[in-house]
Structures are given as structure tokens and as C-alpha cells.
Amino acid sequence: TGLNQQSLAQLPSHVDTPTYDRSAVKAGIVHIGVGGFHRAHQAVYVNELLKTPGSEQWGICGVGLLEGNRGLRDILKQQDYLYTLTVRHPDGKIDNKVIGSMIDFLFAPEDKQAVINKLAHSDTKIVSLTITEGGYNFNPATGEFDTSNPDIINDINNPNDPITAFGYITAALKLRKEQGLGAFTVQSCDNIQHNGNVTRKMLLAFATEQDKDLSEWIEQNVSFPNAMVDRITPVSKKSDIDYVVDAYGVSDEWPITCESFTQWVIEDTFSDSRPNWDVVGAQFVTDVTPYETMKIRLLNAGHSVLGLLGSIHGYGTIDETVSDELFATYLRAFMDKEVTPNLEPLEGIDLESYKDTLIERFANPNIKDSLSRICSESAAKLPKFLIATINENLAHGRDVSLAALVIAAWCFYSDKEVDEQGNKLEVIDAMQRELHEAAVKTHTQPLAFLSLTSLFGNLSDQNEFTTHYKNNIEALYAPASKVKAIMKNVLDQK
């Protein structure tokens, strides 16, 4: 049997199923970009909330804008929008849950007006997004809205025939304005610093090109709460489907697997009403900035430390890398000595246990997060994740030796694109060519990589940094060098 509303009753009792009456649930949230992360994060918070009385107005209607979402629509429809979440704890324990918070899904390429009408419906209070960083249409170098994108040009000129999220949202807000309905909240759940502010800036830039009056109305009426989101959710695999059949004899064609840790910190600035997500573990705050900084400087930078050094050594996944004691020691020293001094104390967060938990999460053997995914788009990630930490330490006269090796390793990785065993590395970066061209000059100009000033600013002029960097470059480029010996050496001198 396949998973659906009817087969729910046949599931074994150890599977957590929706205990609420799904037929009474209305869609107060319309979510664009129903990927793995949404199904492991926001949809799960809503699922838990729906178990509490008086929450039935907060169900989710999913929306797929891309042609590639057709298969997802077919599967969800056939399963009455139910899916399995397999939560894999670091100690090997597994929880299975059927998530029931999605009650409908609209596939935009087949009926655009249905999507606009749904967004404009008076029940819709929140339009949430996980459309990946690319979906926000900003130029990564300038942070400005990119008006050269052909889909955006289409949407500016054809308000009733949209393709992009901005086109749909604007069309729906126009209808709401005309009908005297209030605005909905636009809530980004993507992993972008100040995701609400970015969404606001891009949507207003888009709307201004299309309709100045509407843009002003949006500016005055629509809220875009910033949020920090966290739950490691790898891409679903065939083995995840097989696991569900084996575990409880019902087939689910698109289950989601994720880690047990989850966090959601949201600025409490909604246009209209909002669910009480704090009742089910989320946190409402007035300023999300320090939470974002903590997460990006420890989790994301920590991933990059393991990713770059581990790739050169020849490891393939995060758990494999961090279970090597030297890598775990290096990571912890980096977090304690070079990141923590720059972090403000945060209400409700014990930094020491946050770091312990991070290492435990990275070591989870059931979440096979690949180093190539972690190192992908390092040029977009490292300025915010790691270089900001280096600059702050230099400004305070603090040591930067552990981070300097990571930057030297990034140069070596970009130059050679092979590991110590000579295996080809899978390098994925929009700036791959520039990174490689700068890095190959290293053997004649040791600081050549740092000349990419859009990434490194003036780091090449700072002796406190370059002394360590040059030593590490020399060591990495020495014949038969071993990154683990270099890491040990840097740690011993710390």
C-alpha cells in the first residue's frame, strides 16, 4: 500500500501520525519552493502546532513554480499531501513521523491564475519561501536586484503571466490591494543573512519596475520578518524510500530524512496574524542578527574548515572528517579561540553546549553530508562565514593562525583540484575560474590568491595574517606535504 489518508490507520503505533482532523485544516500559509528543507523544518513546526487546539487556520498549501516540480505534485497528490520524515539522531536512534500540515499543492506552470488567486485568498496570511539563494535574483557581487534576468524581464512586462516568485507575489498583492484585503507577510526561510531584508529589497526593486503605486503600497503594508533557520537536510536518496517500506510496510515515494537538531529564530514583525510557533519550539526575537552571526561563524564556517582541510586529505563526508580526532581538535580550537571571542552572549543560548552539539551534529554517521556540497560556492560563503572573523580578530590584535591555514588550504584546493592521493576533487563554484587563475600563480607569488580583493579586501597587506598564510602556503606546496602534519604543527604553535 501507498501512504495516504486512508492507509494512515494501518501504520504501526511507533510511527507518529497527524492526530488532528486534517479535513478541518485551512491554508493560512502558502509556501513556494517545497524542497527537502521546507518539509523537514517549517512544515514540521506547523504539523506540531496543528496538534494544539484552535490552530486549524495554519495549514500549508505548497506551490511549485518550476517545471521540475511536476513529479513532486503528482506524488504529493497521490499521497493526500502526506509524507514521511525520518529523523536520524547522532546516537543512531530513528524517529519516523508522517507530516500532515500540507493540505494542498498547486503546480504553477499548469494553472497560473489558481496560484495568484490562492495567494490573494483572504485565508492566506503568510507567503513563505525556500527558493534557494538563486531565487532572490540579486547580483552576488553588488547585492543589487538583477534586472537582466529574462524571467524577471518577462514578469515586469507581463504582470498577469508570471514565471518568478516575485511576479506571483506582486500579482497577488495587486489583487489584494484592489479588493481592499490586507497584505500577507512574506517570510523567507532561506539561508541568507537578513533574509527578510533581502526579500524586501528585491521585491520592492521588482515592483517599482512594474507599478510604482503598488510598490509604495507594498512598502507600507507588507512585513518581511528576518529569520535564522537550521536543520541539516541532505538530498533524499533511493535508500530513504527503501527504508520506509522496510520499516513499516507502506510505500512513500518521497520521504525526507534529516538530523534531529532543529532551530528557528524569527523576528516578530508580521503584517497580519501569525502562528504561535514558539509553542512548538521556535523562538520569536526582536533582532535576529546575533543568532545569525553565531550560526554562520560556528556552523557554516566550521563546515568550511572541515570541508577544505578534509578534502585535501581525501575525506568524502563531514562525519568521516570530524571523526578523525585531529580534525575535531582543530575545529574545536578554531571555534573556541578564533570565533568565540567575537560573539556576544545570547539570551537562552549556552555557547559551550551549542559548540558541543555542533560537533555531535557533524559527527552524525547517519547524515552523509558530502564535502563537495560543503565546499561548493565557497567564494559566496567564506567572506561572510570566515573572512569576517579574521578581520575582527586582526582589528583586536588577536591570533588568526588557525583560520590562515584554512585560507591557504582554499588556495591549494583551488589551484590543484586534487586530494593528497591524487584523486580529482569536485569543485563547484561560480568563481571557479578566477579562483583557479589566482591560485596557480602562488608558486611564484605566494600572496597571489589574496589579490582577489572582492573576497579578501586588504588581507594581503596585513602582516599578522600574511606571516601565517605564507608559512602554510610553503608547507602545503612542499613536495609530498601532508595537510594533517601541517594542522598538527599549527595547533602545537597556538
Residue facing ligand NAD at closest CB distance? 35
Kindly state whether residue 266 participates in binding ligand NAD, applying the rule CB under 6 A: no
* Interface stretch with ligand NAD, choices 63-71, 73-81, 324-332, 457-465 (CB under 6 A): 63-71
Burial of 336 (0-12, 13-18, 19+ CB in 10 A): middle
Shortest distance in whole angstroms from residue 147 CB to ligand NAD:
16
The number of residues that bind ligand NAD (CB under 6 A) is: 24
Kindly state whether residue 358 participates in binding ligand NAD, applying the rule CB under 6 A: no
Shortest distance in whole angstroms from residue 255 CB to ligand NAD:
13
Cell numbers representing residue 395 in the block:
582589528
| Strand order across the 27-32 sheet | 102-107, 59-64, 27-32, 126-129, 185-188
Pairing label, strands 94-99, 83-88: antiparallel
Give the x/- contact pattern for ligand NAD in 160-199, rule: CB under 6 A.
-----x------------------------xx--------
Q: How many CB atoms lie within 10 A of CB 458?
A: 10
Pairing label, strands 283-285, 83-88: unpaired
Alpha-carbon radius of gyration of the chain: 24
Q: Which residue carries 504561535 as its cell?
A: 276
* CB closer to ligand NAD out of 430 and 485: 430
Q: Which residue carries 497521490 as its cell?
A: 78
CA gap 319, 340 in Å, rounded: 23
* Interface stretch with ligand NAD, choices 111-119, 132-140, 179-187, 471-479 (CB under 6 A): 132-140
Shortest distance in whole angstroms from residue 129 CB to ligand NAD:
8
Residue 320 gets which letter from DSSP? H
CA gap 293, 199 in Å, rounded: 19
Shortest distance in whole angstroms from residue 488 CB to ligand NAD:
31
* Interface stretch with ligand NAD, choices 6-14, 15-23, 65-73, 80-88 (CB under 6 A): 65-73
Show the 3-state SS of 91-131: CCCEEEEEECCEEEEEEHHHCHHHHHHHHHCCCCCEEEECC
Residue of the chain from 135, 302, 307, 446 that contacts ligand NAD (CB under 6 A): 135
* CB closer to ligand NAD out of 37 and 362: 37
> 6 to 45, contacts with ligand NAD by CB under 6 A?
32-38
Shortest distance in whole angstroms from residue 136 CB to ligand NAD:
8
Kindly state whether residue 130 participates in binding ligand NAD, applying the rule CB under 6 A: yes
Residues that bind ligand NAD (CB under 6 A): 32-38, 65-66, 68-69, 130-135, 165, 190-191, 229, 231-233
